[in-house]
Amino acid sequence: MTIYIRSSACISPQKTFGNADFLSEIVEYNETRLRAIEPDYTAYIDPKLIRRMSHIIKMGVAAAQKCLLEGNTNMPDAIITGTALGCLEDTISFLTRMIELKEELLPPTAFIQSTHNTVGAQIALMLKCHGYNNTFVHKGVSFESALLDATMLLTENEADNILVGGIDEMTDASFTILSRLGLYKRGSVSNLSLFNNRSKGTIGGEGSVFFLLTKKPSTDNLAELNGLHVFYNPEDSEEIERKIIAFLALHALTMDDIDLIITGRNGDLNNDEPYRQLSFSLFNNCTLANYKHLCGEYSTSASFALWMASNIIKTVGVPAVIIEGNIKNAYPKKILIYNHYLNIYHSLMLVSAC
């Protein structure tokens, strides 16, 4: 059964939310932390509720509301979210209060909102949606797991319209910890020149991206989601090649049928090695694009790549800012997304024109 991406909404470190033209005005950062550009939440959330919502909850609820609005849908049949770290801000707040108040008279709000399924629950409460609601916390493939669950529900005719999202935030504490662990580059670096020199470390990011998936064809649909595959900790690049070839063969395709490949390069020497090796072998004659210099590295960043791919197919073609090398087809009809997180959690997504 064909699954369609009806609509999408994205809050990211770029101007991707609202009525902004698709990646027409790129924001440059000269630091290793990319913060999401937050919209006016009062257009999507009751102002009385906003003051009790943390950063990630506001991002998730607003993106979900915007996605439903773009898809002309008032009530989804299911809500499925993916997040690796959940509501970090509330978790840190609760733990801090435990220490400060010596575990006595603790305010409950931060604890209640610190669980990973808070975003999905808040969306359901606001919509009064009593349907299927699930949150996947699968580290580097949390969003892909949510997407897989949604495709199974649609395939089994358990739902007609499903709201699927990938959300993760970065706090001051998490940025400091991950910096000490060597995940990010040292010193200032421009995100637009992230791939110019090979060195250790990347740039951190965050975001909230939601999609409305449906099995109903329409001229208004953004794109088709043809396939999804995740695999864990491959031994070497040869195994990755075999996985990609098998994935395409399952859909009666070869590399010659793919117009554009979006990879998860993030500027880190070790992280980019699988992509570099593939660029000399399986991807040698393909048009390559990158996306993490725009949104930063985070566990559910593949949702940003899928948002980008579906908009490339539906709207204005491939923005120059994401292209690596020469482009063969400015208006691609079939896009392969290959991303990995820490070279452990790998995923493949196949997107095509309706």
Find all residues with CB under 8 Å of 226, minimum gap 6, and list them. 2, 3, 251, 350, 351, 352
Give the 3-state secondary structure of residue 175.
helix
In single-letter form, the type of residue at position 277 comes to Q
Contact between residue 335 and residue 222 where contact means Cβ atoms under 8 Å apart: no
So what's the pLDDT on residue 1?
Answer: 64
- Domain C-terminal end among 182, 214, 246: 214
175: closest CA among 298, 30, 265?
A: 298
Q: Do both 34 and 129 map to the same domain?
A: yes
- Residue 338 placed within a domain: yes
Q: Do both 129 and 10 map to the same domain?
A: yes
Q: Which residues of 304-323 are buried (b: 16+ CB within 10 A; e: fewer)?
A: bbbbbbbbbbbeeebbeebe
Q: Do both 171 and 314 map to the same domain?
A: no
Q: Do both 188 and 319 map to the same domain?
A: no
Distance CA 343, CA 354 (A): 32
Q: Do both 119 and 37 map to the same domain?
A: yes
In single-letter form, the type of residue at position 20 comes to A
Distance CA 19, CA 16 (A): 8
Q: Do both 47 and 194 map to the same domain?
A: yes
Output the domain CATH number for residue 318: 3.40.47.10
Q: Do both 51 and 166 map to the same domain?
A: yes
Q: Counting runs of H as helices and runs of E as strands, what totals does the chain give?
A: 11, 11
Q: What are phi and psi of 235, to 5 degrees?
A: -70, -40
Give the 3-state secondary structure of residue 20.
coil
Find all residues with CB under 8 Å of 202, minimum gap 6, and list them. 32, 183, 184, 185, 194, 266, 267, 268, 271, 292, 296, 297
Q: Do both 150 and 242 map to the same domain?
A: no
Contact between residue 194 and residue 266 where contact means Cβ atoms under 8 Å apart: yes
- Residue 221 placed within a domain: no
So what's the pLDDT on residue 271?
Answer: 95
Enter the tokens of residue 97: 């209060």
- Residue 220 placed within a domain: no
Q: How far is CA 138 from CA 82, 221, 272, 299, in A?
A: 8, 29, 22, 9
Q: Do both 44 and 151 map to the same domain?
A: yes
pTM: 0.95
- Residue 12 placed within a domain: yes
Question: Domain total for the chain?
Answer: 2
Q: How far is CA 184 from CA 82, 172, 189, in A?
A: 23, 14, 10
So what's the pLDDT on residue 337?
Answer: 98
Distance CA 203, CA 200 (A): 11
Q: Do both 173 and 293 map to the same domain?
A: no
Range of the domain at 335: 226-352
Distance CA 239, CA 248 (A): 14
Distance CA 125, CA 148 (A): 24
- Domain C-terminal end among 191, 214, 237: 214
Q: Do both 231 and 198 map to the same domain?
A: no
- Residue 219 placed within a domain: no
Per-residue pLDDT of the chain in tens (354 residues, 90 and over written 9): 689 999 999 999 999 998 778 998 999 999 999 999 999 999 999 998 898 899 999 999 999 999 999 999 999 999 999 999 998 888 888 888 888 888 887 777 777 777 889 999 999 999 999 999 999 999 999 999 999 999 999 999 999 999 999 999 999 999 999 999 999 999 889 999 999 978 999 999 999 999 999 999 999 999 999 999 999 999 999 999 999 999 999 999 999 999 999 999 999 999 999 999 999 999 999 999 999 999 999 999 999 999 999 999 998 689 999 999 888 887 899 999 999 999 999 999 999 998
DSSP string, 45-92: S-HHHHTT--HHHHHHHHHHHHHHHHTT-S--SEEEEE-SS--HHHHH
- Residue 168 placed within a domain: yes
The dihedral over CA atoms of 155, 157, 158, 160, expressed in degrees to the nearest 10, equals: 90
Q: How many residues does the chain have?
A: 354
Query: Residue 118: in which H helix or E strand, if any?
Result: helix 118-127
- Domain C-terminal end among 166, 189, 214: 214
Q: Do both 65 and 203 map to the same domain?
A: yes
- Residue 265 placed within a domain: yes
Distance CA 17, CA 25 (A): 12
> Nearest-5° angle of CA 125, CA 126, CA 130?
45
- Residue 29 placed within a domain: yes
